[in-house]
Amino acid sequence: MQSKKNSNIRSKNKIVVYVILPTLTGVYLSGSGDMIGKGNFSNDDRLSLAVSGSGNIKLEINNAKSVDCSIAGSGKIQVSGKSETLLTSISGSGSVDAYSLYTNEVTARISGSGNAKVFANKLVDASISGSGNVHYKGAPESVQKKTAGSGRVVKSE
């Protein structure tokens, strides 16, 4: 869903759009809007969530093979449910809250001051350039850390 080319939407009232769909493969949010997914979404393959700007995505996933969360800017992605793998990529001051997304493997890439909160059973692979942080829950068998700057990879309770 997008607006017509070379047009602006202005309203004094909140604009709410309801969309019903059988499967969800991705959500791409540009600007300052909010996307809230109600109900459990399933995907047998990869689910891509992307924010460019200051927008927010909140979504509950029933089961997905892989979830990719990408933020460019100050946006936020909050995701819960179950997935085999999680890939987070943050450029800027955005945040990913995936403490309630139960995964086996997490790959987190942060460039800037962003923060990622993740859960992993087997692997956390974190790479930080800047002052961002990766906080993880679970008991991963392996935690791989690469940092350039003041960023940290921290075990949370």
Question: Three-class SS of residue 106?
Answer: strand
What is the C-alpha separation between 85 and 130, in angstroms, rounded? 24
Count other C-beta atoms under 10 Å from residue 35's C-beta. Answer: 17
The average confidence (pLDDT) of the chain is: 92
For 108-140, how does the pLDDT look when each residue is reduced to its tens digit (9 = 90+)?
Answer: 999 999 999 999 999 999 999 999 999 999 999
Count other C-beta atoms under 10 Å from residue 128's C-beta. Answer: 26
Return the pLDDT at 94. 98
- Of 33-47, 75-89, 92-106, the range with the lowest mean pLDDT is 33-47
Q: Which residues pair with 123 in a beta bridge?
A: 105, 142
Domains of the chain: 26-155 (2.160.20.120)
Return the pLDDT at 91. 98
Does residue 106 have a pLDDT over 90? Answer: yes
Which residue, 107, 109, 57, is CA-closest to 85? Answer: 107
Higher pLDDT, 46 or 23: 46
Q: Global pTM?
A: 0.90
- Of 13-27, 92-106, 111-125, the range with the lowest mean pLDDT is 13-27
Does residue 66 have a pLDDT over 90? Answer: yes
